[in-house]
């Protein structure tokens, strides 16, 4: 995991693909005929969504493994995933909002997907606040794992209920473009490239932050032992 070669490789391929996706969005793919140029935000908004949700799933899975196996490694992974996910979720909401303004005329709407994302964002926020507020690190790791699992389990139910909630109120606004709305194959390619780019970006962030947290965990263990040894060594002979 600490392998710098893999990390650099990941970093460079992320950079390459991100640049490629930028090029494709601005120079290659045709913007949607009706929605105009702002529609292009879609090509970053969708990958952000995928990564935000996937990261949350990772928090839950890491939580399960942590409770099951007890290795601090899993908690570090969960925390890294939560942080990364929060970044992407926030960006997704911002991008979605900026997308909505010119196209739907409003900064925010309780469209089912935006609502779902907002709730996910709140869950991330709650998780991170919990992590920040506790004093005992072992205890907070366990709490975090429980919350992560519970919240992730809830997500499917939230999706179902929010969607049901929205369909009853006849939406004045058409739901965002799904993949079936992509007529031009160039659109499909651009989306695929940016999806890959963001997945790599996610993996890279995760790797960076995870190894950092691992190092920090091990260092605090080491610091504890050194402190003990220092006390023992400085005992009057």
Partner 1 sequence: MGAHFGYLFAAYSIIFVAIFLYVMFIWRRQAALDAELRTLEARMAALTERPAAGAPPRPDA
Partner 2 sequence: MRKDLRLELRSGESTLALLALSMLVLVVLVFALGAARVRSVDAAAGALWVAMVFAGMLGANRALLAERDNGAIRGLLLSPLDPSTLYAAKLCAALIFMAVAEVGAVILMVLFFNLDFDASMARLAPILVLGAIGFSALATLLSAITGRTRGGDMLLPILAVPIFVPALIAGVKASAAALAGAPFESMGDWLKIMIAFDVLFVTAGYLLFEHVVGGE
CA distance 184 to 203: 29
For the CB of residue 98, give the shortest distance to partner 1 in the complex, in Å. 4
Please choose which of partner 2, partner 1, none residue 71 contacts, taking the beta carbon within 5 to 8 angstroms, the exact cut-off set by kind: none
User: What's the alpha-carbon Rg for the chain, to the nearest Å?
Assistant: 22
Residue choice 91, 140, 173, 192 for contact with partner 2 (CB under 8 A): 140
Please choose which of partner 1, partner 2, none residue 87 contacts, taking the beta carbon within 5 to 8 angstroms, the exact cut-off set by kind: partner 1
Where do the DSSP E strands lie in 18-164? none
Give the chain's largest Cα–Cα span: 85
With respect to partner 2, which residue has the nearer C-beta, 62 or 200?
A: 62
Does residue 67 interact with partner 2 by CB under 8 A?
A: yes
CA 113 from chain center: how many Å?
A: 16
With respect to partner 2, which residue has the nearer C-beta, 2 or 139?
A: 139
End-to-end CA distance of the chain: 44
> Given the structure tokens 């490789």, which residue do they identify?
9
Where do the DSSP E strands lie in 98-196? none
Q: Give the residue among 111, 101, 116 at the shortest CA–CA distance from 35.
A: 101
Residue choice 149, 187, 206, 213 for contact with partner 2 (CB under 8 A): 149
Q: Find the part of the chain contacting partner 2 (CB under 8 A) among 80-88, 98-106, 115-123, 204-212.
A: 115-123
Residue choice 16, 164, 188, 222 for contact with partner 2 (CB under 8 A): 164
Which residues have CB under 8 Å from 113's CB, separation 6+? 49, 96, 175, 176
Chain residues binding partner 1 by CB under 8 A are 22, 25, 31, 36-38, 40-41, 44, 48, 87, 90-91, 94-95, 98-99, 101-102, 201, 205, 208-209, 212, 215-216, 218-219, 221-223, 225-226, 228-230, 232-233, 235, 237
């Amino acid at each position: 995991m600490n392998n710098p070669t893999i990390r650099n490789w990941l970093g460079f391929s992320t950079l390459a693909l991100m640049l490629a996706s930028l090029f494709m969005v601005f120079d290659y793919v045709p913007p949607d005929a009706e929605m105009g140029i702002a529609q292009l935000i879609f090509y970053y908004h969708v990958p952000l969504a995928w990564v935000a949700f996937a990261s949350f799933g990772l928090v839950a899975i890491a939580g399960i493994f942590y409770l099951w196996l007890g290795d601090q490694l899993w908690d570090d992974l969960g925390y890294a995933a939560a942080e990364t996910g929060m970044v992407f979720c926030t960006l997704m909401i911002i991008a979605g909002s900026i997308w909505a303004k010119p196209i739907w005329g409003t900064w925010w709407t309780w469209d089912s997907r935006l609502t779902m994302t907002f709730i996910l964002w709140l869950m991330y926020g709650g998780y991170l606040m919990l992590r920040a507020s506790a004093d005992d690190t072992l205890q907070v790791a366990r709490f975090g794992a429980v919350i992560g699992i519970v919240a992730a389990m809830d997500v499917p139910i939230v999706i179902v209920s929010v969607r049901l909630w929205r369909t009853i109120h006849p939406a004045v606004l058409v739901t965002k473009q799904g993949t079936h709305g992509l007529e031009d194959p160039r659109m499909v390619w651009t989306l695929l490239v940016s999806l890959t780019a963001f997945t790599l970006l996610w993996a890279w962030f995760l790797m960076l932050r995870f190894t950092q947290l691992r190092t920090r965990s091990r260092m605090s263990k080491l610091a504890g032992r050194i402190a003990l040894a220092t006390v023992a060594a400085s005992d009057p002979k």
